[in-house]
Structure 1
Amino acid sequence: MDFLTAYDAVPEADAAQRVALLRRKTAMDRAGLLRELRAVRPVFATPLGVFVTRHPDVLEVLSTPEVFTVGVFGPALEEVLGAPFVLSRDGADVHWRERGYGQLVLAPEDAPRVRALTVSLADGVLDAALAGAAERGSATFDLIQDYAWPAAARVAVEYLGFTGIPEETLHSCTRRMQWAFAVNPGGDPDVHTAGTAAGKELHDRVAALIADRRASSESPDDVLGRMLRTRLPAEFGFDDERINANLVGYLTGYQQNATQCVATAIKELAVRPEVLAEAERAAAEPDPARFDAYVWEALRFHPFVPATPRLCVRDHVLAAGTPRRTAIPSGTPVVAWLSSAMFDEDVVESPTEFRTGRPPSHNLVLGYGAHDCLGRYAASVIVPELVRRVLLRPGVRPPPGAEQSMDHAGTPYPQHYTVTAGPEGP
């Protein structure tokens, strides 16, 4: 029995059973569910909100912030951060002003310097991971615990400016924070409390760091240094508290996502041996541009944000002029399925094939519209370079047969991924 037949057989009044069926199918076969919805019911009303699955409709939702706002998760994010942030608001009062500020301090021209920084720092972390495996007499190590998150955090320290704050603190705090506002649909109070406590810890550490920077005659060439040197009109309100909230917000949007991307990109390459061999050859080229395309195509198959929720704040007709035309009433939660849009057969040619060189609009890994990734210029080099450093080590690969063996350890994020640690690897 297909999913929609089983779902429709449940009485509409039994929302709990419909939700249970939907969550079970999403957990067991999300790709199959989304494929069926795209074909049969692309705008799907559920007790959890309206699922939007087709490419043009997802783009419509994400590019219409005056209708589809971040009101679903924005309040929780502000509680976690203790302040408004570019991702928690829509409109000119906070979002567009702070987005402009973010584009100023997270400058596109940083990309070459950030890539070089990533090369240096990541190689050091990878060397230490291999040395640790050798000391233990182990033929493997944990790619996530021993390499991905420490390397990502070390780049954050040096580029964003979290000087003196332990890398483990940056990683553990952002995990709890992101869990609380982004992947806590049931509103678990313990998860929310842990996230707000983590946000308070990071705020206090950054407040002390800002005070130390203000008292020093030195001004490091990092994002925090740039923020402290930037002079804006007082009425814009960019005091040290706003600097604090923005810096912590940038980290929260980066650390867990970058960590996960390293592991999932390598996994998606490893399950395709011919593609992996192509990527290895591209990794060895002096210009990394061709290699980067392999990473972003790999992440299309396993995006770190598969779906993003929005709140419809006024009556809207979605997909007007098409057979999918759907009236969405004000107050309706809407789930824009990025992972489905990237596999829309009517837009993306041969979506199940691994192909580099696809049009940019077919890859939504870094989001789309008003709330796309604010740090995309840095992310566009950090993430592929973290993967590239691994593929340049011939002995560091997932063991044969264990390419899919990624352990979340009871969290929403991959926590463990075993790779080989020597030249005898595959």
Structure 2
Amino acid sequence: MDFLAAYDAIPESEPARRVALLRRHMKGDGPALFAELRAGRPVFATPAGVFVTRMPDVVEVLSTPDVFTVGAYGPVLEEVLHGPFMLARDGADVHWHDRGHGQLMLPAEDFDPVRRLTARLADSALDRAVTTARGEGRTTFDYIQEYSAPVAARIAVEYLGFSGVPERTLHDLSRRVQWAVFANPGRDPEVHASGVAAGKELHDLVAGVIARRRAAASADAGPEPADVLGRMLRTVLPPGTGREMDDERVNHQLAGYLIGYQQNATQCAATALKELAARPEALAEAERLAAEPDTGSASEPAAFDGYVWEALRFHPFVPSTPRLCVRSHVLAAGTERETRLAAGTVVHAAMASAMFDEAVVEDPYAFRPDRTPVHNMVLGHGAHDCVGKYPARAILPEMVRRVLLRPGIRPLPGPEGAMDYAGTPYPQHYTVTAGSAPSPRRAGNG
């Protein structure tokens, strides 16, 4: 690739052409583009912002929230969610207060029960998909529409607490919000309006769930459900800890959890399988490990899980995240790439590039499931890393593991096995063979 030569050949007076070329290359072959930038222009200034591609520089940006804030997207996120949320703020008033609360609601102790829940729901969805395919005379089914999306949504219902909300509604609303906030760089007004409407609908749905829970508790209609929403409604913060977590704040928290989870889990369960299928030796070893009865726990993750996280390193859900530089800052000080950034600069921290930084990551293009987690940014990094990282570490590997326990369910080879994005930023269809293997519910955590 010779992207930089083509980019430099476009006059500075034509910024739209430069940005169009950049986005075309990012969409067409992002890994090759990032490799060229790391080698030739690791801090790359463009009309769309400064792209930071080396691991130390990405870490610097994501670990310095007083300089690099979420102001690049925070106001849009709060407009769409119709209220404040930790991912849209920096500082103690909302971000650290609500993040601390969120970590209590989504603790490491949830790893084992959430993994068991995922196994149960995944097996049920696979049974249904295979049975339906056979009944309709099909030899394949849609992995995303019939497996990963509904499983993710069912976990949202049973674990997060979206009781009574249709699975399809959860998936569609979260996609529209995600698209408007994080995958709409040109701020297309139709996409934005759709996201705002989806956020309002989600807010009202959550308000209804909370009202029903409060009414049931007042009527003493049995024990409060043991889900995340139940925890939030039961928890009373001690005096002096900051803002009250009233029902409106609980609403914003729960809706925000869904936005950060549903599309992510749906896509990652598919792209991890895709990346494994592209590496037959890795797939075979993952299949072997998946069948081992001991799948690990929160304190000692299974060897199998490393295959999923390494697969996602090659296809992360969030390849790059924007930050707003709010005061003059010297990035990568003392290095050859030292760059002074002016206040007001939008900086794109390219995590997908950082995870392949040859100067930090040994043999980055080799598939190594035993890599140190320090070099994996799939769940983010720094002040705004994934607040739900503990349940995520249970859900994603187990969704893939349940599939690999069934040898008759695998992606189609070649172009037939390509993912279909259907005009959206997220995979919508992924065809896999339906197989004939029975449900392996006695294996491992299932």
In structure 2, give the amino acid aligned to 1:356: P
Cα distance in 1 between the residues matched to 2:412 and 2:47: 42
Cα shift at 1:277: 0.3
CA deviation profile, 1:278-320 (whole Å, cap 9, x unmatched): 0000100122211111000000000000000000000000000
CA deviation profile, 1:203-226 (whole Å, cap 9, x unmatched): 111111111111113311000000
Cα shift at 1:403: 6.9
CA contact (8 A) 2:130 2:436 kept: no
2:292 is the counterpart of 1:285: yes
2:419 is the counterpart of 1:406: yes
Cα shift at 1:414: 0.2
CA contact (8 A) 1:269 1:298 kept: yes
Cα distance in 1 between the residues matched to 2:16 and 2:170: 38
CA deviation profile, 1:333-357 (whole Å, cap 9, x unmatched): 0000000000000000010000011
Cα shift at 1:76: 0.7
Cα distance in 1 between the residues matched to 2:21 and 2:312: 27
Cα distance in 1 between the residues matched to 2:23 and 2:100: 38
Structure 2: state its 5+ residue gaps. 296-301, 438-446
2:276 is the counterpart of 1:263: no
Matched pairs, number: 424
Partner residue, 2:5: 5
In structure 1, give the amino acid aligned to 2:246: D
Partner residue, 1:44: 44
2:115 is the counterpart of 1:115: yes
Partner residue, 1:226: 231
CA contact (8 A) 1:397 1:419 kept: yes
CA deviation profile, 1:227-256 (whole Å, cap 9, x unmatched): 000012575221000000100100110000
In structure 1, give the amino acid aligned to 2:311: A
The partner residue of 1:240 within 247, 254, 270 is 247
Q: Secondary structure at 1:87's aligned position in 2?
A: helix
2:394 is the counterpart of 1:387: no
Partner residue, 2:327: 314
Q: Secondary structure at 2:322's aligned position in 1?
A: strand
CA deviation profile, 1:152-176 (whole Å, cap 9, x unmatched): 1101100001111101110000000
Partner residue, 2:434: 421
Partner residue, 1:76: 76
% identical equivalent positions: 68
CA contact (8 A) 1:271 1:403 kept: no
Q: Secondary structure at 1:132's aligned position in 2?
A: helix
Partner residue, 1:95: 95
TM-score normalised by structure 1 residue count: 0.98
CA contact (8 A) 1:271 1:404 kept: no
Partner residue, 2:367: 354
Cα distance in 2 between the residues matched to 1:319 and 1:61: 10
Cα distance in 2 between the residues matched to 1:80 and 1:301: 30
Partner residue, 1:85: 85
Structure 1: state its 5+ residue gaps. none
Cα distance in 2 between the residues matched to 1:210 and 1:147: 28
Partner residue, 1:296: 309
CA contact (8 A) 2:417 2:431 kept: no
Cα distance in 1 between the residues matched to 2:436 and 2:212: 46
CA contact (8 A) 1:63 1:368 kept: yes
Q: Secondary structure at 2:27's aligned position in 1?
A: helix
Cα distance in 1 between the residues matched to 2:86 and 2:68: 15
